[in-house]
Structure 1
Amino acid sequence: MLQIHPLLASIALTLAAGAVQAATLPNGVVYSANEGDGSVSEITLRTGAVHTAKVSVIPHNVQISPDGKTVLAVGMPAMTGMAGHGMGCQAT
């Protein structure tokens, strides 16, 4: 009779479950305004890859242009001592 080692069976089931989960991940990209460091991140949903770029504002909202070629960031000007959206200014 064939015996399957419990550890090998556990690894096989884990890998199979991971493959099913990866196959059901959504396609697309999400853009996130990062107020804390004045940047915008692009997150690829299927892979989880994150690319971040500094912007000239403390962003609190991002939008994609209708043609999908431009990401727009809305926020306060990035100035030294600025704490972020809704936080006011801090004396330096």
Structure 2
Amino acid sequence: MSDSIDINIANKKVSSLLNQCRAVLCEDVICEVVHYIKHGEPEIAFEGLLIELMQVDELPQNVDKISCIELGKHLNLDSESVLKE
């Protein structure tokens, strides 16, 4: 994770995104994302959340896409995946 973002801030941003997207996600996905947030792993939580949103092919209109891209870059997800296939 980049030094330019604090882990607590990252966790809050991922939590906020999760709350905006709850209506389109199943409970298992929500629990997994919350698990990683609670364990201080915002990179895994964020990447997993985005993968699930792509699979359901629905992004709520209230989600700020630019903020999502910026958070992903701060978490270095533009250069390195944390989840392996």
Which of 1 and 2 has higher RCO (CA within 8 Å, sep 6+)?
Answer: 2
TM-score grouping bracket, smaller chain normalisation: under 0.3
TM-score, normalised by the number of residues in structure 1: 0.22
Structure with greater helix share of residues: 2
